[in-house]
Amino acid sequence: MNYISKLTQSVKKKNSYLCVGIDPDPHKLPEKFEKNVEGVFNFCREIIAATKEFTPAYKFNLAFFEIWGWQGWKILEELIALVPDDILLVGDAKRGDIGNSSQFYAKALTERLKFDSITLSPYLGSESILPFIEDENKGCFVLCVTSNPSGRELQDHGGNYPLYLRTAEICASLNQKGNVGMVMGATKPEQLIEVRQQFPTLPFLIPGVGTQGGEIQTAVDVCQKNGAGLINVSRGILFPEGQNFPENVIAAAKKYQQLFKIEG
């Protein structure tokens, strides 16, 4: 099954655009988990068990695993193996390099770790993206409009034709196999709507809903418009209110699954 088919079928099967972000900050773990690499593994294992019924995708933030060195890489491999095959795996690595470096980053993340899709930085241009999309069974989400405030310092640069629109244009030109998407933050709804109108078929990965306060309805609306989409929630599901773990996580996952339900 090629990448875009897996993405769309995963969303359709769970009837939701939800993507659960796996950002296991050891300082925020419930009391039952030790604040070490073993505790992180046990926590993530229970998160996957509690949420796999509700989500079509997981986004693993590599920073929270790389901090543990080789042990972090090891538990990441083990956690990925626990995810059912019909759930899309996104490696939130934000890579962006050229030449052999990019080739080897792609092999490490899509062959060794077996991620379906990788987040990429576009600053080095199309050369930094191409190695990740050679295989039609693998894909990427390129940073276009990010949810953080200071992203505007570069992304809005360019006056009437800002850098984020040029980024989207490049992504559209590379999307010959349907495996190029973009990161579009829900905290900037005007740009979210604008880019969807101009590029209606590109898949979106939408962060910023939940703790960051992004607009839910706008995020759902742009996912409905032709291109497939995923709406990411990390802290709002991993660390919800309430002390009754994992019941509070299950309740949060159910809530966001329904909020991001496919309409019509």
Is residue 182 assigned to a domain? yes
CB-based contact 170:125 (threshold 8 Å): yes
Task: Tell me the per-residue pLDDT of 33-52, one tens digit each, with 9 for 90 and over.
Answer: 999 999 999 999 999 999 99
CATH number for the domain harbouring residue 79: 3.20.20.70
Residues 62-91 pLDDT 10s: 999 999 999 999 999 999 999 999 999 999
Please report whether residue 264 resides in a domain: no
- Global pTM value: 0.96
Q: Is the pLDDT of residue 106 over 70?
A: yes
Query: Is the residue at 204 inside a domain?
Result: yes
Q: Which 8-state DSSP code applies to residue 108?
A: I
Confidence of residue 208 (pLDDT cuts 50, 70, 90): confident
Q: Is the pLDDT of residue 1 over 90?
A: no
216-229 average pLDDT score: 86
pLDDT in tens, 137-190: 999 999 999 988 898 888 889 888 999 999 999 999 999 999 999 999 999 999
**CA-CA distance, 62 to 73, in Å (whole number)?**
9
List the catalytic residues.
94
Structural domain includes residue 133: yes
Number of domain units in the chain: 1
Q: Does 7 fall in a domain? A: yes
Q: Which two tokens stand for residue 173?
A: 């030109």
Q: What is the pLDDT of residue 53?
A: 97
* Bridge partners, 231 (sequence order): 18, 206
Residue 161 located in a structural domain: yes
> For residue 213, is pLDDT > 90?
no
Beta strands in the chain (DSSP E): 18-22, 57-61, 88-95, 117-120, 139-145, 180-184, 204-206, 229-233
Nearest-angstrom CA–CA distance, 55 and 51:
6
Distances (CA, A) of 165 to 122, 160, 180, 243: 12, 10, 15, 43
Confirm if 229 and 222 have CB atoms less than 8 A apart: yes
The whole domain housing 69 covers 3-259
Domain contains 89: yes
